[in-house]
Amino acid sequence: MTLQEYDYARESSSKLAASCLLLALTMKNLGGWTPTLEYYSGYSSQDLHPLVKRLNFLLTYQPRDKLKAVRTKYSHRVFFEVAKVTPMDMLKLEERLKSS
């Protein structure tokens, strides 16, 4: 979804990928950013927090009338219907990020 948004073009691919992983881990309550993830990604959890919040905001307030191809594709069972996952409440996300 970030490929369709100009605001994310300035972010490095590695930081974007790491932030997406942290958001997914947080959304599914699968743990936080471990020292191993920090070592191999090169990013601390604190480095990723602002981008994680922006990504969750993108999931929450996306335009529904245009650019539906990505959402349609990832709503399919083959892709585990990840486009149908409910975004986190911003306050809950903030709490979980602070606690990890």
Which residue range is the domain that position 64 belongs to?
9-99
Mean pLDDT of 70-79: 89
Q: Is residue 4 part of a domain?
A: no
Domain count, the chain: 1
> Which residues neighbour 82 within 8 Å (Cβ) at sequence distance 6 or greater?
74
Within-domain flag for 56 = yes
**C-alpha 91, offset from chain centre:** 15
Quick check: is 62 in a domain? Answer: yes
Give me the pLDDT at residue 63, please.
Answer: 62
Query: Does the pLDDT at position 69 exceed 90?
Result: no
- pLDDT of 99 strictly over 90: no
Instruction: Look at residue 51 and tell me if it is in a domain.
Output: yes
How close are the terminal C-alpha atoms of the chain, in Å?
Answer: 26
Would residue 17 count as lying in a domain? yes
The reply to whether 83 falls in a domain is yes
> Is there a domain that residue 1 lies in?
no
Cα separation, 75 vs 69, whole angstroms: 10
Query: Is residue 46 one of the residues assigned to a domain?
Result: yes
